[in-house]
Amino acid sequence: MTVAAPENEVSRGGGFAVAPGTGTRPGVLVAMPFDRDLIARFRATFPTAKWRRALRRWFVPGTTAEQRVDAWIAREFATLDSHADDKGRDAFAFEPLASRYLETPPDSLVVRTPYSRRVVDLLRGIASAHWDPAIRAWRVPWRGYEDLRAVWPAIEAAAAEAEPAARRARAAGRDPGRESERRRRRHPVPQADPPPLGAPVETREHGVVTFEALDADPLDPAAVATTYPFLRDRGGSFVWGWWRMPTFAELAAVLPAAGPDDPARGWWPPTRDGLDERRRRLRETAHARETRAARRAARETAPDPA
């Protein structure tokens, strides 16, 4: 049977809640998870507590009851966390993670990787993980080991891609012609089947973008085939389409497609993966811009050395 919570009841987390007593006698009502060992510890700490069957809560009498109950709940949380940490250490001993990005001091796990927005997003998904500015690394309490292990392959892969050597190798392997087209923000599109203007579409070379204008003059087919060989067999004439990055609002208005409807065309309605990747890159760009602005403001406001 479900019982309505007493008036002014305040959750303490973890299934615990405290409310003022409903009678004239000073005290508080305490709700807690049903666990025989937990209730036994509660009754040992509060021997005068009484079970209120109608409210399905314990009544702890006394003018300082709330402070004493809160202190007991805090101790229980600490005990539960300690027990969960021990379970995490046991899980690590049974199935350890060995990685250059993971350190295992006694107090907590430490994740230290090159900066990667993907790594940050994955670690933020672990409730107990937090950034420690003192060591410039992420700490994950041992109780979060199973959650960390579940996403570790993705973390390790993203960290490896963010290594300086990997970044340099990707830069060295880029086609100068395609890089030039990317900087110019243009892409050949079929003259007879152009993308809609002002709406996000997905391309093979640039991901999800928004085309703003189309040229009228057709392109040289040989020049298109040299830089964009996947369009060689398309046939027909192509024109330059000029694109920009979409906004978050434009991305939110798009209904994802199940997949590319015509990859040989060079563009197609955005897929879910393409939209997610563009959102991620937009967040990275915004974060980098904010960081640069903050550093610039700090330099401008710093006092001149005497």
Angle between helices 272-301 and 117-124 (to 10 degrees): 100
Q: Greater confidence, 90 or 174? A: 90
Q: Which residues of 193-228 are buried (b: 16+ CB within 10 A; e: fewer)?
A: ebbeeeebbbbbbbbbbbbeeeeeeebebeebbeeb
Last residue of a domain, one of 167, 187, 209: 167
pLDDT tens digit string along 266-276? Answer: 889 999 989 99
Residue 19's contacts (CB-CB under 8 Å, 6 or more residues apart) are 5, 6, 7, 8, 9, 10, 28, 29, 31, 57
Determine, yes or no, domain membership for 101. yes
Question: Are both 146 and 220 inside the same structural domain?
Answer: no
Cα–Cα nearest to 260, from 249, 248, 244, 274: 274
- Largest Cα separation within the chain, whole Å, is 92
**In terms of C-beta density within 10 A (0-12 exposed, 13-18 middle, 19 or more buried), how is residue 103 classed?**
middle
For residue 88, give the 3-state DSSP assignment: helix
99 three-class SS: coil
Supply the range of the domain harboring residue 143. 96-167
What is the mean pLDDT of the segment spanning 118-126?
A: 89
> What pLDDT, on the 0 to 100 scale, is given for residue 246?
94
pLDDT band at residue 236 using 50, 70 and 90 as cut-offs? confident
pLDDT band at 251 (very low <50, low <70, confident <90, very high): very high
Q: Is residue 261 part of a domain?
A: yes
Work out the percent of the chain whose per-residue pLDDT is above 70. Answer: 93
Give the confidence band of 177 by pLDDT, cuts at 50, 70, 90. Answer: low
The pLDDT assigned to 116 comes to 86
Domain count, the chain: 3
Same domain, 208 and 241: yes
Q: How far apart are CA 149 and CA 92, in angstroms?
A: 9
Q: Read off the pTM.
A: 0.47
Classify residue 306: in a domain, yes or no: no
Residue 85 lies in a domain: no
